[in-house]
Amino acid sequence: MWNQNFNKSSPTVNEALTLLRERISSGNVVVGIYGLGYVGLPLALRFCEVGIKVIGFDIDSHKVETLNAGQTYIERLTSERIGNALAQGLEATTDFTRTVEADALIICVPTPLDNHRVPDLSFVINTVEAILPHFRIGQLISLESTTWPGTTDEELAPRLQAKGFVPGQNCALVFSPEREDPDNPSYGTHDIPKVIGGMTQNCLELGRALYQHAIRTMVPVSSPRVAEMTKLLENIHRAVNIGLVNEMKIVADKMGINIHEVIRAAATKPFGFTPYTPGPGLGGHCIPIDPFYLTWKAKEYGLNTRFIELAGEINHNMPRWVVQKVADALNDRCKSLKGSRILVLGLAYKKNIDDSRESPAVEIMQLLHKKGAHIDYTDPHVPHFPKMREYHFDLTSVDLSASNIKAYDCLILATDHDRFDYELLLREATLIVDTRGRLPEANNVVAA
């Protein structure tokens, strides 16, 4: 447990970091994880699996109660894994005073954009402000939330220093971006190399030693800013290429060319080409958001990131493209979009998961609703429409029976879950608008 002899006024502050290093090296370390969502909870379970004591902090009392009862609220993280973690010492709490019990504090909270695409760092700042009254010398803070280059040394370090905590001297501060990829069968939390940058070399060494318990490969970089920019580059690379292929899809559609056939053919080139697939827009908490953290910060340096912003605009407008394709397809069948019954297939932002954050399917539903269509959805991974900051539909997932399918004027394949019965859909649907290229050409299928 925490050695109470080390407090903020102790004259032997270097001994506090020495003790922290010893505790980390021995594995006798307590990790506090702040934010028990799609990033924080898998990391907490991973530390527990290697015998590290974890205290999980969250402001959502329902999550805390669910975890402490041995249950899960994230589909891919089974109740069995939760139970095993509890047996290894996992505790979930809303009580931030327990911060003092932890040696390493890992922040995994959201970093969304506001309505003007300005970064909203309030979740990070509020978490740090809740931690600081209970922070002590000899603790390590790691920020994993994706943000702009400079956040760690511009926002976190000054708040620590204002309370007498100096990174590298009497505490440690690092940035190590999360790289979770839900439902990736090849790469779990422990398999994905961990990029990490410290405020000082001392901070970096302590951070590396901590994460090495849970993650196989460490990728140290020279500073938190490099680590912050690394995460942005990874996701901007994907966003820009997805924007490119989405634009190519629109061009190919106008020319009567199947873009998916084009991509498959191009992918046979053994060098110089990486296949990206088009879709109804971008989803998840990273790719639709992260590029705008850099565009916002770049303006501070008098720079306009035109390439990134153009890709963002293309991706942002894809749900509108899908809605227009739906309207055109209905019109070709002498039906109006207004008053039509439409079933959206898949609410999650990508296949085979239950995460609907920033899902283009939700934006499509909102646009259709505004145009007077009657909207339902079906998703085997999302039984009830979740709470969202911008959208809310009082809906539950519709069963995909033959009679239900026939009752709709149009089905929109927004997320191509493997659990959908595609033969049944093709056989029974009057019209399917396919945004994922999953279905073969058929009289009742329209590509979008």
Strands (E), 35-161: 53-57, 91-93, 104-107, 140-143
pLDDT in tens, 222-269: 999 999 999 999 999 999 999 999 999 999 999 999 999 999 999 999
Q: So where are the chain's domains?
A: 13-221, 231-314, 318-447
**E strand or H helix at 285:** none
Beta bridge partners of 142: 106, 174
Beta bridge partners of 174: 142, 198
Q: Write the single-letter amino acid at 308.
A: I
Q: What is the DSSP letter of 97?
A: G
CATH number at 318-447: 3.40.50.720
Q: What local confidence, expressed as pLDDT, does residue 185 receive?
A: 83
CATH architecture of 13-221: 3-Layer(aba) Sandwich (3.40)
Q: What is the dihedral of CA 376, 379, 384, 390, to 10 degrees?
A: -70
Count, residues in the chain: 448
Question: Of 327, 329, 411, 408, nearest to 372 (Cα)?
Answer: 327
339 contact partners, CB below 8 Å, separation of at least 6: 372, 373, 374
- For residue 227, how many C-alpha atoms fall within 13 Å in the half-sphere facing its CB? 31
What is the secondary structure of 166-223 as a DSSP string? -BTTTBEEEE------TT-SS--TTTS-EEEEESSHHHHHHHHHHHTTT-S-EEEES-
**E strand or H helix at 126:** helix 122-131
With beta carbons less than 8 A apart as the criterion, state whether 399 and 378 touch: yes
Examine domains 231-314 and 318-447 and report if their fold is the same: no
Given the residues 171, 203, 286, 410, the one annotated as active site: 286
Q: Give the distance, in angstroms, between the CA of residue 157 and the centroid of all CA atoms in the same chain.
A: 25
pLDDT in tens, 312-336: 999 999 999 999 999 999 999 999 9
Q: At 119, is the secondary structure helix, strand, or coil? A: strand
- The series of mean pLDDT values per 10 residues for the chain, 448 residues long, is 44 77 96 97 97 97 97 95 96 98 97 89 98 97 97 98 96 96 86 97 97 97 98 96 97 96 97 96 88 93 94 95 98 97 97 94 97 97 88 92 97 98 97 97 95
* 48 is annotated as an active-site residue: no
Q: In what order do the strands lie in the sheet with 374-378?
A: 374-378, 341-345, 410-413, 432-434, 445-447
**E strand or H helix at 369:** helix 360-370
**E strand or H helix at 248:** helix 224-254
Q: What local confidence, expressed as pLDDT, does residue 389 receive?
A: 72
Question: Of 212, 186, 32, nearest to 109 (Cα)?
Answer: 32
**E strand or H helix at 377:** strand 374-378
Question: Of 129, 211, 199, nearest to 171 (Cα)?
Answer: 199
Measure the CA–CA gap between 114 and 105, rounded to whole angstroms.
Answer: 27
CA atoms 188, 192, 198, 202: torsion sign: positive
Superfamily of domain 231-314: N-(1-d-carboxylethyl)-l-norvaline Dehydrogenase; domain 2 (1.10.1040.10)
Q: What local confidence, expressed as pLDDT, does residue 12 receive?
A: 52
